[in-house]
Structure 1
């Protein structure tokens, strides 16, 4: 129960931080005398995020209910939420699968992955949605190898110092619950070079998913 509460608190904090970031950007625009140009945009984005926050709280009550959801729709919604962030998101749709899952859980997972990329100072994130898989690859700092092993082993040790927090544990829990295959690895610029080139995440659905 404590893990569940901590996970929800983590995700709630992420959504609030998005609103705060938008307001901070607006404040900087005000200081430069350019706020009037983007006033409507900043407030629209903040309002949309607050609306998703309301939906999130409503869905928490029904966190055990699973329904058919369009991954494409959820990803588009998540990207829209982070539109004002400095992260460039390259989203490619090869297929649009429908999966049966708890909507709030998978929505949290997608939003957490994007938020984690921002926290790792990534400037770009590639998302590819295929018939039976979805992959994420950013150019941020990756994950410490020891922390990566803890996540794969199911350890609940915090990874917040690496910027990935409880979000990846929530992802792992989701995949285990639905018997999805999860691949997590740091990608290097060169195989023999120690410099990391971001985190790579792939979720594969073992059973053929329906499509839109």
Structure 2
């Protein structure tokens, strides 16, 4: 795995970059400000002295250069400028320009081109140095150095505070990560909020992890129940196949053999339908290439007749009422398994009375007069309603149907599928 820096290291790096940038920007702005102040100060000073400079130039028409003051010299034309001045330098009128070279004292020089009304000498070139300002500039920079040192110390203090805050903020996340790493893969229990500062992001992280664990735990439980249900659903046809196979070895009568063959074929078809129904749950509707179809009474009667043996010794009447034929989108094998589970549950829990299948435009209801919900006779392996109801809920969820199981006021219960 690639080396990844800790939050503490990243905080130090980013803070250092920001602090360095602040110091550099501050120093650059200060230097630029001082340079601008010096240039403007000299420029304004020379502009204020412009008239006196022009008057002094009239007295130096022969020498072509003249002294204005101790730090300022005037020149009548560009040719007479000292060698320190680049002859190609651009000189705007009445604007001071800094010369890159310094004089013998190491002082910065400024050159300014002054316009005059004298036709013979239209321009006067003034070279000026200001050692007093440069001395003040050095003093300002020295003072600023101490201020920068103070700022640096404050930044170091701020860094320590930020690092401390970073550690306190990330400590719960580190504890959370270590707790996850310590857990075994089979541990799907929720994790408690780590000690420390509870941030919104940490709460979301822990909540998301716990929800994932709950989903994982629910999936494991569903898989276990699904395996129990598959075993339960396949055990009956397998027992029929095993019994019919054993019986075939005891008789050679054609009628007996034909009867056992019918039993074998029926059990094989039941297993095949169950497997097809399970496979349909793993495929998308596009893969199944389904289209709308009408649910007729014959399709319901197939499921009723398939499980009528459960009522062979009971005084129970089965009625199918079609109030309105609904349009459905579901494979026949899945619907057969769905109805079969509801009918088996109703038949098994009804000792006398009636089991009614009522079909409407938007619902299918199986209503019985049995023992009702939450009784001893209702197997509690599939969340209290029998193993077959687990796959019933899965099929309904697959095709966006709603499933409801409720007690009837007069006794028994109703299993309703809302289409």
**Structure 2 CA distance, aligned partners of 1:71 and 1:44?**
31
* C-alpha displacement of 1:45: 7.6
2:225–2:382 contact (8 Å) kept in structure 1: no
Match of 2:10? none
Residues 21-62 of structure 1: CA distance to partner in whole angstroms, max 9, x if unpaired?
xx9xxxxxxxxxxxxxxx9xx879846732531432551455
Please say if residues 172 and 182 of structure 1, whose CA atoms lie closer than 8 Å, have aligned partners that are also in contact. yes
Higher relative contact order (CA 8 A, sep 6+): 1
CA–CA distance in structure 1, aligned partners of residues 340 and 371 of structure 2: 18
Change beyond 3 A, Cα 1:4–1:74: farther
Counterpart pick for 1:49 among 247, 261, 266: 266
Per-residue CA deviations over 1:159-194 (Å, capped at 9, x if unaligned) read: 58x7x41222222223233332323211132xxxxx
Q: TM-score, normalised by structure 1?
A: 0.62
Q: Which of residues 327, 332, 342 is equivalent to 1:98?
A: 327
- What CA deviation, in whole Å up to 9, does each residue of 1:179-210 have, x standing for no partner? 32323211132xxxxxxx111122112xxxxx
Looking at structure 1, the residues matched to 281 and 302 of structure 2 have their Cα atoms a distance apart, in angstroms, of 19
Alpha-carbon deviation of 1:94? 2.0
Aligned residues: 171
Contact 2:347 2:355 in 1 (8 A): no
Q: Give the 3-state SS of the residue equivalent to 2:371 in structure 1.
A: coil
Aligned to 2:308, the other structure's residue is in SS state: coil
Alignment of 1:6-155 (within 5 A): 6-13=228-235, 46=263, 49-56=266-273, 59=276, 60-65=278-283, 66=285, 67-68=290-291, 70-72=294-296, 73-86=298-311, 87-123=316-352, 124-144=354-374
Which residue is 1:4 aligned to?
Answer: 226
TM-score under structure 2 length normalisation: 0.34
CA distance in 1, matches of 2:342, 2:322: 18
| Residues 49, 117 of structure 1: alpha-carbon distance in 2 compared, 3 angstrom cutoff | farther
Give the direction of change, closer, same or farther, for the CA distance of 1:99–1:46 in structure 2 (3 Å limit). same
Q: 2: CA distance between counterparts of 1:49 and 1:158? A: 27
What are the superposed Cα offsets for residues 69-127 of structure 1, whole Å, 9 maximum, x if unpaired? 65334312101212344242100112222322244333222111111122213432100
Correspondence for 2:381 = 158
Structure 1 unmatched ranges of 5 or more: 24-38, 149-156, 190-196, 206-212
Distance 2:401 2:413 in 1: 19
Query: Structure 2 CA distance, aligned partners of 1:48 and 1:183?
Result: 34
